[in-house]
Amino acid sequence: MIEITDIDDKRVSEFKNLKKNHNNTNTFIADGEKVVLKLLNSDLKILKIFSKKEFILENIELINTKISNNNIFYADKQLLADIIGFRLHTGVMALAAPKEMTSLENLVGNIVILNNIIDAENVGSIIRNCVGFGFLNIILDKQSAYLYLRRTVRVSMGAVFKINYLYTDNLINTIKHLKQRNFTIISIENTTNSENLFDYKVISNLAIIFGNESKGINSDILEISDKILQIPITKSIDSLNVSNASAIALNYFYNLK
């Protein structure tokens, strides 16, 4: 392993100024001890690790199975903070290649669809809920946040490493294709035509859609949905946060088994 002593060392340039988005979709940055450990135990290709020395020494056997020695870097916490632009709580980061996107035909089992969910933390929370409740396939439109943004990966607590995912340029056509494959298209949305989520009992071949944080699911998607279901709430508020709504809905379907 190699000690970094210069803030401008090009060998760790990918980690510099992390508050600016890491826009290379061929790689992503994971941060935090728990997330990086999950990455190390995944099948994803890890290119570099940049960390406090203690973490590397504690996990050196595992790290050596995943990363070549000339790509294992450490620095003291102050230099780490100076390079990345803020103080990380745990001082542990890794650079890796994202899981390859799957094809629509290879998505087997229940699916979650995200329609224009912009906030990276919401996407990360939903992914964590998906894995927690056994939904391992996710389709996103191009307006939704990228799964491998640093904040998304961190909030998902590494659950994103387990997800099969697909980004689609035309969500309507994708949904129509799923309908042809006998998927039941369910939109979770509050409308005048919505039915109570907890009265619905189908548990297989589901494609469950969650929509934009403020505008909800697009109207053209609602029109082709087989069911529009709502989570009963009091009249004191209009709606739940989309990540909270996903937790309730996915937990409900998980417990129908």
pLDDT, tens digit, for every residue of 58-95?
A: 999 999 999 999 999 998 888 888 877 666 667 899 99
In the chain, the percentage of residues whose pLDDT exceeds 90 is: 74
Phi, psi of 140 (to 5 degrees): -130, 145
Do 251 and 128 fall within a single domain?
yes
Task: Please give the backbone phi and psi of residue 97, each rounded to the nearest 5 degrees, phi first.
Answer: -95, 135
Q: What is the model's pLDDT at position 24?
A: 62
Average pLDDT over residues 214-230: 94
22 has a pLDDT exceeding 60: no
Report field, pTM of the whole predicted structure over 0.85:
yes
Is beta strand 46-51 parallel, antiparallel or unpaired with respect to 92-96?
Answer: antiparallel
Same structural domain, 78 and 167:
no
Closest CA to 29 of 41, 37, 18, 38: 18
- 226-254 mean pLDDT: 92
Instruction: Give residue 13's pLDDT band: very low, low, confident or very high (50, 70, 90).
Output: confident
The Cα 139–Cα 247 span in angstroms is 17
Residues 112 and 48 in one domain: no
Give the three-state DSSP class for 254: helix
Q: Which of 96, 131, 148 is the last residue of a domain?
A: 96
How many whole angstroms separate alpha carbon 138 and alpha carbon 157?
Answer: 17
Same-domain pairing of 92 and 155:
no
Look up the CATH number of the domain holding residue 78: 3.30.1330.30
In sequence order, the β-bridge partners of residue 205 are: none
Report the C-alpha dihedral over residues 210, 211, 212, 214, rounded to 10 degrees: -100
- Is residue 19 predicted with pLDDT exceeding 70? no
Positions of E strands within the chain: 2-3, 28-31, 46-51, 72-74, 92-96, 111-114, 137-141, 164-168, 184-188, 195-196, 206-210, 227-230
The number of folded domains in the chain is: 2
What is the tens place of the pLDDT at every residue in 85-134?
Answer: 666 667 899 999 999 999 999 998 999 999 999 999 999 999 999 999 99
Residue 122 tokens, joined: 């919401």
pLDDT value of residue 118: 94
pLDDT at residue number 257: 74
Phi and psi dihedrals of 118, rounded to 5? Answer: -85, -35
3-class SS letters over 6-37: CCCCHHHHHHCCCCCCCCCCCCEEEECHHHHH
Mean pLDDT, the chain, whole residue set: 91
| The pLDDT value given to residue 90 | 75
Please check whether residues 112 and 19 belong to one and the same domain.
Answer: no
What does the pLDDT look like over 134-179, one tens digit per residue? 999 999 999 999 999 989 999 999 999 999 999 999 999 999 999 9
Which residue range forms the structural domain that includes residue 42?
Answer: 2-96
